Amino acid sequence: MTLKSLLTLSLLSVCFSLLYGQTIKPAVKGIESIRLEDLKKQLYEMADPHFNGRSAGTLDEIKASVWFAEKMREAGLTPAGEDGTYFQFFSLWRNQTSKQSSITIGNHVLQLWKDVLVAQTAPAEVNAPLIYLGEANKIDFAKVDVSGKVVAIQVVPDGINTNISLPEWRYSRSIHVKYGTDLLAKGAVAIIYINDQYAEHSWPYAKENFIRGTYDIEGGANAIVTSKPPILWVRKEAAEWIKTEGQVAKISIKIESYTYPSVNIIGKAESKDPVLSKEYVLLSGHPDAHGIRNIIGNDSIYHGADDNASVNVAMLAVARALKKSPGKRSALLVIHGAEERGLLGSRWFTAHPTVPISSIAAVLNGDMIGRNNPDSAALLGSVPPHKNSSHLVAFALDANKEGPQFKLDTLWDKPTHKEGWYFRSDHLPYARLGIPSLMYTTLLHSDYHTPQDNAANIDYEKLLKMTQWIYRTARKVVDAEKRPTTDSNFKLER
Ligand SMILES: [Zn+2]
């Protein structure tokens, strides 16, 4: 092509873009292989009801992981798990409150999970006087003497978010954070919360959550639970008799502990560079969702379409495109098991990496990238104190400018944001190790962790644009002369 024709063509395309209100997106090698149809087809497959919501530690998670590994194989990725496979198995350490537990207040014998919920999964033997403190918002915490006592309080919604469109057990957690911490610090040996109308409403969700218990990986703080003051919830009607003075509470909480398997799924797209092929852009997602739970809107399977099938199929498309059009560096796709149980797969992988940790040049993680306003998104890890690599952030922001041009929300990346979103996905363990790390997300919505997070509710145009944005960023990482550096002053607020 001559220079003149090139200029004419450029001028024409500028006119075209001005006429049609579009901007020219610089071409980037390999991006054309990312197709909306593939994303949509695979997302429908992964969020299909036959995977039963892919709950961590169940055969459903394993089944979905095997399905995903097969997609990695079809994409031409090399197995990069353990023993020449796509898999890295690890044990979930789980604790649950046992049915052998017993709770008696005065002469009332409470039936576990019917009359009383046990919110703290930890063993305890308490035999102590009960004190009723009245409505929570009227207690003078400076004056009350609760040392050595079992404390009962009437829950009130004062100052608590009662927006129950989000997972409804959060209400009980908010109450405990607001009142319980002080009472325990002052020496209370157990707390009994008496339901208000909101706690009554959230009872089935809170119950399910508390029955589930706690999970961790070997060596984690919750792997082996030690004795803690019981945190109990009782029905609204209990207010009538719990106020009676001079009662004694006898609380015996027993815990059942066991392990079972979860799995990381790992594949790589190797470049041909003799030196830099040993460095990786790590693409991250999680296969697990929330299984089968309470019925909401005629469905009880929590399909996890946005959270997080959207990211899994996107990262697979990015890895496939990098396999077809390699750069200097390689790509490592790590789909982390049991994310929803406390980032367990990513914590396990960073402690037992299948490639040297020092070979990970950058981590591009995603969590929920297919919902909300078509023109907006968020990049977590782009604002201090979460920003750990100005270099990588510049890659991602440039990639956004050159590609989808999302309006980027930065509020959710602030340490003051009440959701603490930065701390809730798989980039975190990598960032803590000082590896340049980012999280792509289109943020929460009212279907989050409900059965309505299904494939039909995904915005596939937006998912395609998010995938292209991640690809453009990954492309910069694999093509760069120098890998992204970590900012020297990086320090997370917690
Ligand atoms: Zn998620």
Residue 285 Cα to ligand 1 middle (Å): 8
Q: pLDDT, tens digit, for every residue of 104-146?
A: 999 999 999 999 999 999 999 999 999 999 999 999 888 899 9
In this predicted model, what pLDDT tens digit does every residue of 452-494 receive, in sequence order? 999 999 999 999 999 999 999 999 999 999 999 999 999 999 9
Between 2 and 190, the higher pLDDT residue: 190
Q: How far is the CA of 441 from the centre of ligand 1 (A)?
A: 10
Question: How many angstroms separate the alpha carbon of residue 426 from the centre of ligand 1?
Answer: 9
| Distance between Cα 307 and ligand 1 center (Å) | 5
* pLDDT, tens only, 322-350: 999 999 999 999 999 999 999 999 999 99
Over pLDDT 90: what percentage of the chain?
84
Kindly tell me if the per-residue pLDDT of 184 is higher than 60: yes
Output the pTM of the full model: 0.89
Distance CA 139, CA 135 (A): 7
Q: Binning pLDDT at 50, 70 and 90, where does residue 160 land? A: confident
Enumerate domains of the chain plus CATH numbers. 23-94+260-479 (3.40.630.10), 99-253 (3.50.30.30)
Q: How far is the CA of 223 from the centre of ligand 1 (A)?
A: 22
> How many angstroms separate the alpha carbon of residue 408 from the centre of ligand 1?
19
Q: Tens digits of per-residue pLDDT, 172-183? A: 888 898 899 999
Q: Ligand 1 centre and the CA of 335: distance in Å?
A: 11
Spacing, Cα 127 to ligand 1 middle (Å): 41
pLDDT confidence tier of residue 169, bands split at 50, 70 and 90: low
- Name the phi and psi angles at 150, rounded to 5: -90, 125
Q: How far is the CA of 368 from the centre of ligand 1 (A)?
A: 6
- 298-335 burial string, b = 16+ CB within 10 Å, else e? eeebbbbbbbbbbbbbbbbbbbbbbbebbbbbbbbbbb
Q: How far is the CA of 308 from the centre of ligand 1 (A)?
A: 5
Q: Compute the mean pLDDT over every residue in the chain, rounded to the nearest whole number.
A: 93
The tokens describing 474, both together, are 């990954």
- For 444, other C-beta atoms within 10 Å of its C-beta total 17
Q: Is the pLDDT of residue 45 over 60?
A: yes
Distance (Å) from CA 144 to ligand 1 centroid:
42
pLDDT of 162 reads 65
